[in-house]
Amino acid sequence: MKLNKSLSLLDRYLAVWILLAMMAGILLGRAVPNLNKILSAVQVSNVSLPIFIGLLVMMYPVLAKVRYDETRAIAGNKKLLALSLVLNWVVGPALMFALAWLCVPDLPELRTGLIIVGLARCIAMVLIWNDLACGDSELAAVLVALNSIFQVLAFGALGWLYLEALPQWLGLGDGVSVHFETTEIVKSVLIFLGIPLVAGAVTRIFGERAKGRTWYEETFLPRISPLALAGLLFTIVFLFALQGDEITRNPWSVVRLAVPLLAYFVVMFFFSLWAAKQAGLPYEDSATVAFTAAGNNFELAIAVSIATFGVTSGQALAGVIGPLIEVPILLGLVYVALYLKKTWFKEI
């Protein structure tokens, strides 16, 4: 199976587009030295209007894909549901917290950004990885829907726990590099996840009622899907336009971000796959659980970091480096999963 041919042109070269957007942003920043002042002229929720629009556009197509009506289907399988929730909302954030403090203890802004990435559970690209790995598509849709809803309810509380409370309890000092209120993260999540979540759900409900699910998923969704990449690349261009000088002066910080991100994706995938197999789940369910636990919602992480700490912050930089590392790593793990299907899972 040629996995790259199964991806659309946009998805296949996502890491390339991100790299090009980064370079374009650095060039733009050097060409327009006062860009930050220009962008800050009109703000919404402490975010410049162009970036605010870009973040919402980035999130909407992702959430329009979710089948919200199928969340009840998994309720009967309590073991699978409990395993997925524990991996996503206990193991994942805790692992990223540990890696962030281990790898960048002296860089609090980058550390905070990594932790925010760990709190933003995957709700988009996981559908692609799961399909390529021959996982259960319906189960993936259900877990994505549950993660979407749970993020609105739990993100703020977990942000307080891992960014403020836990570092103090463990005697690690201040958890974050700048003062902020937990309500700022809650507000960011409600805006940049809540608004597109409602828009996506309403779009699906009325789209399916008007023309049916087949038209909605095979005609409408392919038309709006490129908007997610456009919004992401638009945001990255301006992010690097404002951070380009700092990045070129200190590229080592980007390398130090890549190490914990790489470790996180690999460890989460193999641990989740092992845990699912130990629970007696077949390969299709195990692969779905593993990919939903290993992936992250980098769109939300970028949005929350920008809205809470600013577009020129280290937290925002950590968020944007996330997809650059995640995309090639999870694509590689698709090949690994298919190999393990023939070997490790053959007896199930």
Q: What is the residue range of 315's domain?
A: 10-342
The pLDDT of residue 52 is: 83
Question: How many structural domains compose the chain?
Answer: 1
Share of the chain above pLDDT 70, in %: 87
177 confidence band (pLDDT: 50, 70, 90) = very low
pLDDT digits (tens, 9 = 90+) for 230-274: 888 888 788 778 776 667 777 788 889 999 999 999 999 999 999
DSSP H or E run through 47: strand 47-48
- H-assigned helices in the chain: 3-6, 9-12, 14-31, 35-39, 49-64, 78-86, 92-103, 108-119, 126-132, 137-160, 166-169, 182-189, 195-215, 221-249, 252-278, 283-294, 298-309, 314-342
Report yes or no on 150 lying in a domain.
yes
pLDDT digits (tens, 9 = 90+) for 45-62: 667 788 788 878 877 887
The CATH number of the domain holding residue 279 is 1.20.1530.20
Residues 6+ apart with CB under 8 A from 287: 130, 133, 134, 135, 136, 273, 337, 341
Report yes or no on 45 lying in a domain.
yes
178 confidence band (pLDDT: 50, 70, 90) = very low
The pLDDT of residue 215 is: 95
Mean pLDDT (the chain, rounded): 83
Report yes or no on 2 lying in a domain.
no
- Rg (C-alpha) for the chain, rounded Å, is 19
pLDDT digits (tens, 9 = 90+) for 286-306: 999 999 999 888 778 888 888
Share of the chain above pLDDT 90, in %: 28
Residues 93-116 have a mean pLDDT of 93
Lowest mean pLDDT among 160-164, 233-237, 341-345: 233-237
Prediction pTM value:
0.78
Residues 173-199 have a mean pLDDT of 69
Lowest mean pLDDT among 79-93, 114-128, 249-263, 328-342: 114-128
Report yes or no on 253 lying in a domain.
yes
